[in-house]
């Protein structure tokens, strides 16, 4: 299926749990930089939510996977617009009771930003290895292992797998302030981080967790950025947290 974002088609996969009730909560699951909705850790996260009784919507964002747009031209602004469009689409589904956001890496940063933008509609946020340091790194002139003049920007950067990133990505990243989005969201947040991830990723995840009003930070010992051989632990953490949040919300009326 495709979701239309002002002429840009976003490829998406909507799935419900087995023996699904007539109405249920839904989790929007979003990938990271160079990723797509069918990566093993994205599929695993979605499975964990469905095992807990939640519907899921996995989405390919602008310039990634099977969605429209060139990778070179994607920016955080475009992804933020994508996220808001997808949230509005889900709000129109008659079986959805509550909306949760889950994202990995740059998608983890995205759900933090989208949680601030659409805070009144989001029941909870799950950020997996969130790349929350991207905006500040771009302001310093550091990105993906490259160093550059943060004022006189290069026209493009060669990243990996033969992919090229345009300077507009950097320009937009420099204007994004994730702290403002964090401060606008007071719902429950789960941040999961592998101990074998990059030091800047780990520190920025800890900083984000400390800034949120209502967060839980959990590390998976030995796990790399995409969790690889630690998928069962990742799924277990997700199921445990989402079930606890649901029970707490039910108990509060």
| pLDDT tens-digit map of 19-59 | 888 999 999 999 999 999 999 999 999 999 999 999 999 99
Q: What is the structure's pLDDT at 20?
A: 83
In the predicted model, is pLDDT for residue 238 greater than 90? yes
The band of 248, judged by pLDDT with boundaries at 50, 70 and 90, is low
Contact 59, 28 (CB under 8 A): yes
Q: What is the mean pLDDT of residues 171-194?
A: 96
Look over the chain and give the mean of its residue pLDDT values, rounded to a whole number: 93
Q: What is the structure's pLDDT at 252?
A: 41
233 vs 250: CA distance, rounded Å: 26
In the predicted model, is pLDDT for residue 154 greater than 90? no
194 vs 67: CA distance, rounded Å: 29
Q: What is the structure's pLDDT at 251?
A: 45
The band of 87, judged by pLDDT with boundaries at 50, 70 and 90, is very high
The band of 247, judged by pLDDT with boundaries at 50, 70 and 90, is low
Q: Are strands 8-15 and 55-59 parallel, antiparallel or unpaired?
A: antiparallel
Per-residue pLDDT tens for 195-228? 999 899 999 999 999 999 999 999 999 999 999 9
The first and second tokens of residue 218, run together, are 């959990």
Per-residue pLDDT tens for 70-85? 999 999 999 999 999 9
In the predicted model, is pLDDT for residue 232 greater than 60? yes
Q: Which of 153, 49, 65, 137 is nearest to 107 (CA)?
A: 65
Q: What is the mean pLDDT of residues 90-113?
A: 97
- Residues 6 or more apart whose CB falls under 8 angstroms from that of 116 comprise 180, 181, 182, 183, 184, 185
Q: Which of 234, 226, 230 is nearest to 46 (CA)?
A: 234
Contact 162, 151 (CB under 8 A): no
The three state secondary structure string of the chain is: CEEEECCEEEEEEEECCCCCCCCEEEEEEECCCCCCCCCHHHHHHHHHHHHCCCEEEEECCCCCCCCCCCHHHCCHHHHHHHHHHHHHHHHCCCCEEEEEEEEECHHHHHHHHHHHHCHHHEEEEEEECCCCCHHHHHHHCEECCEECCCCCCCCEEECCCCCEEEHHHHHHHHHCCHHHHHHCCCCCEEEEEECCCCHHHHHHHHHHHHHCCCEEEEEECCCCCCCHHHHHHHHHHHHHHHHHHHHHHHHCC
The band of 250, judged by pLDDT with boundaries at 50, 70 and 90, is very low
Q: Which range among 116-120, 162-166, 176-180, 188-192 shows the weakest confidence by mean pLDDT?
A: 162-166
Q: What is the structure's pLDDT at 249?
A: 55
The band of 156, judged by pLDDT with boundaries at 50, 70 and 90, is confident
Which domains does the chain possess? 2-251 (3.40.50.1820)
166 vs 169: CA distance, rounded Å: 6
């Amino acid at each position: 299926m495709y979701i239309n974002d002002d002429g840009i088609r976003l490829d998406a996969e909507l799935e419900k749990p087995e023996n699904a009730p007539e109405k249920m909560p839904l989790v929007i699951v979003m990938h990271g930089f160079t990723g797509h909705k069918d990566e093993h850790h994205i599929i695993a996260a979605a499975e964990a939510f469905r095992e807990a009784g939640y519907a899921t919507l996995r989405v390919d964002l602008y310039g990634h996977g099977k969605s429209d747009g060139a990778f070179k031209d994607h920016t955080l602004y475009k992804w933020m617009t994508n996220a808001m469009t997808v949230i509005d689409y889900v709000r129109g589904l008659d079986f959805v009771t509550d909306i949760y956001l889950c994202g990995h890496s740059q998608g983890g940063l995205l759900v933090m930003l989208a949680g601030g933008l659409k805070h009144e509609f989001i029941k909870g946020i799950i950020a997996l290895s969130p790349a929350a340091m991207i905006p500040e790194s771009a302001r310093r002139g550091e990105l993906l292992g490259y160093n550059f003049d943060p004022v006189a920007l290069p026209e493009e950067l060669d990243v990996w797998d033969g992919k090229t990133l345009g300077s507009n990505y950097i320009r937009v990243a420099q204007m994004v302030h994730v702290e403002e989005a964090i401060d606008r969201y007071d719902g429950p947040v789960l941040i999961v981080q592998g101990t074998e991830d990059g030091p800047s990723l780990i520190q920025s995840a800890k900083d984000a967790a400390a800034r949120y009003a209502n967060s839980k930070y959990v590390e998976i010992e030995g796990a790399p950025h995409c969790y690889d051989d630690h998928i069962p632990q990742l799924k277990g953490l997700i199921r445990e947290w989402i079930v606890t949040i649901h029970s707490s919300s039910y108990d509060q009326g």
